[in-house]
Structure 1
Amino acid sequence: MAISFDLTLDCTDAQRVADFWKTALGYVDEPPPAPFATRAEWHASFDLPEDDSLDDGAWLCAPDRTGPRLAILKVPEPKTAKNRLHIDVRVPGHGSPEDRWARIKAESERLVKAGGAIVGEYDEHHVVMVDPEGNEFCVAAGPATSPPRD
């Protein structure tokens, strides 16, 4: 049996980073775990310091619950080095190398408008970007069956 896993991103502004990744991946806020009716109710069930806010975290998932979930958590220290693990955002479709590169470039520009930044372009194969807090990720071509994004 395969083990499921989540990805966790550390940041200083969880809501800003969550908004970016919801736009980038088409993810949504994950519902609270049972038996809680709201995230606030779930959050209140922990013995947390008074200054710990629900806004210090965000939990995201694909609308159809496929793929890994993302936990985005506020931490006190800033990012200091390159990620050792990163996300690859895959644009759908096949076609000529020029067609694939055009889709990669279009997706990269969409993510710049959402708050990301381009770090580098590599051999018309992939684009390295960073999210609003500097977490690196790549934009590259993926399988033709990937769901479309807005």
Structure 2
Amino acid sequence: MAVTYQLTIDCTSPELLTQFWAEALHYSVVPPPPGFGSWDDFYRSIGVPEDELGDGADRIEDPNGEGPSIWFQVVPEKKSIKNRMHIDVNASGGRAFDLAIRRERVEAEATRLVALGATRLRTAFEEGLDHYAVAMTDPEGNEFDVF
């Protein structure tokens, strides 16, 4: 039986990434537990030190309950090397569609994500291969692909 899991992304600004990734993935921002005005208020109640708190929302979830929840964890250091794991955003619809249609969909999604604060790095396309993707970074420099 498969297990459920949460994806955790280290960051310096959870509010920024929460808003970006909620929009990027069509997820919902998770409200703090009942009785707390913010996640930081909740974390303080369970003894989390001030230097480990963010500012605002720090987690998102799939409104359909199908994808993993994502928590943006405050860490003191900024990102300095390439991610060892990354998110792939499937915007193309898959190989049931012609490459030209998939390419158009990937480009439209990459354009939308740039408007949300992503940075486009490069296009992964080679004539003769049935693949088209765009490598990008989120507002804190975490790599991800749109394919």
**TM-score normalized by structure 1?**
0.82
Q: Distance in 2 between matches of 1:81 and 1:64?
A: 33
Query: For residue 69 of structure 1, what is the aligned residue in structure 2?
Result: 69
> 8 Å contact 1:57–1:73 — kept in the other structure?
no
Q: Distance in 2 between matches of 1:52 and 1:117?
A: 27
Shift of 1:53: 3.7
Q: Distance in 2 between matches of 1:113 and 1:89?
A: 16
Q: Distance in 1 between matches of 2:24 and 2:32?
A: 22
> 8 Å contact 1:56–1:74 — kept in the other structure?
no
Equivalent position SS for 2:80: coil
Which of 91, 97, 100 does residue 98 from structure 1 map onto? 100
Matched, 1:127 2:127: no
Matched, 1:43 2:43: yes
Which runs of 5 or more residues in structure 2 are unaligned?
Answer: 126-130
Q: Distance in 1 between matches of 2:77 and 2:25?
A: 26
Inter-CA distance 129–50: structure 2 relative to 1 (3 Å threshold): closer
**TM-score normalized by structure 2?**
0.84
Query: For residue 144 of structure 2, what is the aligned residue in structure 1?
Result: 137
Shift of 1:31: 3.9
RMSD (Å), alpha carbons: 2.0
> 8 Å contact 1:57–1:74 — kept in the other structure?
no
Which runs of 5 or more residues in structure 1 are unaligned?
Answer: 141-150
Where in structure 2 are the equivalents of 1:29-40 lying within 5 Å? Answer: 29-32=29-32, 36-38=34-36, 39-40=38-39
Query: For 1:76-122, what per-residue CA distance to the aligned partner results, in whole angstroms no more than 9, with x for missing partners?
Result: 11111110110011115342111110000000000000000111101
> 8 Å contact 1:18–1:60 — kept in the other structure?
yes
State the percentage of identical aligned residues.
38
Q: Distance in 1 between matches of 2:137 and 2:35?
A: 34
Shift of 1:57: 5.9
